Amino acid sequence: MNQAITASLQAWALQATADELHAGPRAADLGGLPAVAADATHLAPSPLFPYLIDIAGRENQTVDESARHLIDKAILHGLAEHDRYSSYLSATTRLIRYPSLTTRLGRPLERVLQQRAEAGTDPEADETTAAIGATALELWLHLCTTQILRPHRLLALLTELPDIVTNAPTEMTKRLPRIAGLAHEHFPDDDLLTLLHRLTGIPDAEADAGFETALADLRRALDADNQDQLVHALAQARTGFAAVEATDEARHDAQTYAAALDAIMAFQRADTAPLRAAANRLRDAVTHHQAWLSGGYLPPWSWARAEAETAWLQLAETLTTAAEPLTSDCWYHPSQAIAALRDAYQAARSFAVHADSNDPHGIELLIRPTIESAFIDDKARLAVLDHALAHDPTFADDPSTQRLHIAVHQALRCSQPSPDAAPAAGKRDGLGKELSRLPAVLHHFGIEDAIELVNNVPARLQQAIESILWNAKIAEAETGNIKIETKLGELQRQLAASPDWIGASAGPFQMLLQQTMLFLVSRHNIGATMGGERTAYLRTTPNSAAALEKPFHQDYKEWISQGPLYNVAQAETIDRGRGRADVLVKFRNVSFCVECKRETTDASKDGLRSYAGQAAVYTDTDIAFAILLVLDLTTPPTGAPDLYSNMWVEQVQREEEDNPRYIVIARLPGKKPDPSATRTPPRRDG
């Protein structure tokens, strides 16, 4: 390297102010642009690489095109070949400052970043190569989200990763969840969700992948245009954040969103204490998260997310202020009460993806009906609102207050039947409003049972049930494992296509499904020392005979009997579908069969489907759900499929049946070789 350039840099650094050090040197500080260009090829691979980028980015007005061309070429070479992670990271953070430079580098820059990213995902890549590859991928994503580069090549790379990500280097997999989540935020693509799903199975990426998946569910909720979509998406998001909290107690970002969703749900309750508690938790989480992030470099993607957390906090504070007049019998200061409710009405709209639409979207579907009903159900409050619109310019000229006023009066007109019209049979007035206040009930029981509950249960008990279900079934991750929660949710969404998936049957079957999956988790992990003779059927020894079905069957029955289903599980129950059920789990109003099999020849999905017919027979006079539990004795030397590939749903519909039976197949690998004896399978083409 030219010693004159080095000496000039040292002299500049000794005299530069803090602001100048932050901004970087100019070409004049180092002897002029030609001098820098002459030494650019030596600066690019050195720790001084970030300063070369500063000079190139700040010298936009130069007329020396040849010097600038040499510097740009050296920068591209440095981004392609630089092998020091710390200075590479500094160089990319500097490059983000200069959009004119990145625009000038254009397609060659994209090719370089793609090459580094692909090298970083190679299973044989070392730690530095993987870290540099992840940094290049983050820079590439930033340039796509700021519209400097087009995203199609980036998305092509990301959507190919699910097939190889389990073998990618740790330094890459740790950072991929954030990259995939941000990419999905800007460029929605279901294949990115597949990548996140795969990442939840990698311990170093599990928490971040779960968080990004929950954020994707939240975005889906904010885009919802009907209550059913909203409730299910919000419930999935809340459960996802709970699973992240269970995995890592220090995840203040997950705590922030969890508390925000709790506050939104609590806004609909008569008791304001849960809302205030959620708002306090939200305030603490945002404060802790901002403190944790302060004092260091924050990448650009974190700026918008920090602003989003603050916006959720402001919404919670607004809802807390509005809750008092919403639940108060008497407004001592009517104008303040109207203003508080107006602010909450407006704040809900600011979180809608389609804010320019006249129809409610996202959390508006929950908050707007609650505020509107405060006036629909109380003539005195409505009179105050009418007076405010007529005589107070603060409200008369405010679009949000006008929108609220119109919605209330329109609802009142629609609720008044024509004198000549007979009431429609089965008409339930106000059920839309009531169900909007019971999202957890709606999510858990489904629309028909939720309507039945609203019609027959007092409002006080409705709120109690809502609170219990939200806290126990949605706001907590029952297994404490993000990927297990995700797989259970996937299975339940498939089962929900059945007309039998109603509250009285869905809830009990979910319990059985969860316990069965936890059984598989335990038996996938347990070794000979802890398992002993009870799990000897899972192991193989030289010249040993194939395991029998009976010990497998007994082990599962004992597992079920030691958990929450201890008093409802029966074994070898006769007169079930003209046969004998291996395990019958009998709840008060519904029962489910678990058929146990062993397979020694073909344990593929197609092969095991042949047993689903027998499991379906046991459902002929009951709810159309059953479990087929199979001991797979065909495990090859390369090992068995992972847990999440070993559970799926098969539909069985016989001729002239109106609806199919839904059989969950759970495949448990037996004859597994010890980890040290497991061979590596060949690479898969593509």
pLDDT tier, 426 (very low <50, low <70, confident <90, very high otherwise): very low
Instruction: State whether residue 6 is helix, strand or coil.
Output: helix
pLDDT tier, 430 (very low <50, low <70, confident <90, very high otherwise): very low
What is the Rg, in whole angstroms, of the alpha carbon atoms belonging to the chain?
A: 31
Residue 90 pLDDT > 80, yes or no?
yes
Return the minimum-mean-pLDDT range out of 30-44, 275-289, 525-539: 525-539
Domain residue spans of the chain = 3-225, 328-414, 500-677
pLDDT tier, 403 (very low <50, low <70, confident <90, very high otherwise): confident
Residue 432 pLDDT > 60, yes or no?
no
Tokens in use for 364? 């508006």
CA 246 to chain centre: 14
Look at residue 429 in the predicted model and tell me its pLDDT: 39
CB burial readout 29-38, b (16+ within 10 A) else e:
bbbebebbbb
Look at residue 325 in the predicted model and tell me its pLDDT: 80
What integer best gives the mean pLDDT of the chain?
82
Tokens in use for 110? 């994209």
Look at residue 627 in the predicted model and tell me its pLDDT: 95
Handedness of CA 166, 168, 169, 174 (dihedral sign): negative
Closest Cα to residue 253, out of 283, 222, 307, 289? 289
Strands 625-632 and 591-599: parallel
CB burial readout 232-252, b (16+ within 10 A) else e:
bbbbbbbbbbbbbbbbeeebb
Residue 686 pLDDT > 60, yes or no?
no
CB 36 within 8 Å of CB 55: yes
Look at residue 652 in the predicted model and tell me its pLDDT: 93
Q: Rounded to a whole number, what is the distance in angstroms from the first to the last CA of the chain?
A: 43
Residue 453 pLDDT > 70, yes or no?
yes
Query: In 3-state terms, the chain is what percent helix, strand and coil (to 5)?
Result: 65, 5, 30
Query: How many angstroms separate the Cα of 66 from the Cα of each of 15, 54, 328?
Result: 30, 18, 74
The DSSP 8-state label assigned to residue 534 in this structure reads G
- Report the predicted TM-score, pTM, of the whole model to 2 decimal places: 0.67
Q: Which tens digit of pLDDT belongs to each residue from 161-201?
A: 998 898 899 999 999 999 999 999 999 888 999 999 889 88
Look at residue 495 in the predicted model and tell me its pLDDT: 92
Look at residue 356 in the predicted model and tell me its pLDDT: 52
Residue 99 pLDDT > 60, yes or no?
yes
Query: Which residues face 664 on adjacent strands?
Result: 627, 649
Look at residue 91 in the predicted model and tell me its pLDDT: 94
Return the minimum-mean-pLDDT range out of 101-115, 213-227, 309-323: 309-323
Look at residue 212 in the predicted model and tell me its pLDDT: 93
CB 128 within 8 Å of CB 169: no
pLDDT tier, 354 (very low <50, low <70, confident <90, very high otherwise): very low
If one counts every other C-beta atom within 10 angstroms of the C-beta of residue 47, the result is 14
If one counts every other C-beta atom within 10 angstroms of the C-beta of residue 646, the result is 21
Look at residue 151 in the predicted model and tell me its pLDDT: 94
Look at residue 421 in the predicted model and tell me its pLDDT: 44
Q: Which tens digit of pLDDT belongs to each residue from 625-650?
A: 999 999 999 888 888 888 889 999 99
Q: Which tens digit of pLDDT belongs to each residue from 562-614?
A: 777 877 888 877 767 677 888 988 887 788 999 999 999 999 999 999 999 99
Look at residue 685 in the predicted model and tell me its pLDDT: 60
The residue among 664 and 405 whose pLDDT is bigger is: 664
The residue among 686 and 3 whose pLDDT is bigger is: 3
Look at residue 142 in the predicted model and tell me its pLDDT: 93
Q: Which tens digit of pLDDT belongs to each residue from 457-484?
A: 887 777 777 777 766 656 665 556 777 8
pLDDT tier, 355 (very low <50, low <70, confident <90, very high otherwise): very low
Residue 666 pLDDT > 90, yes or no?
yes
Query: Which residues face 649 on adjacent strands?
Result: 664
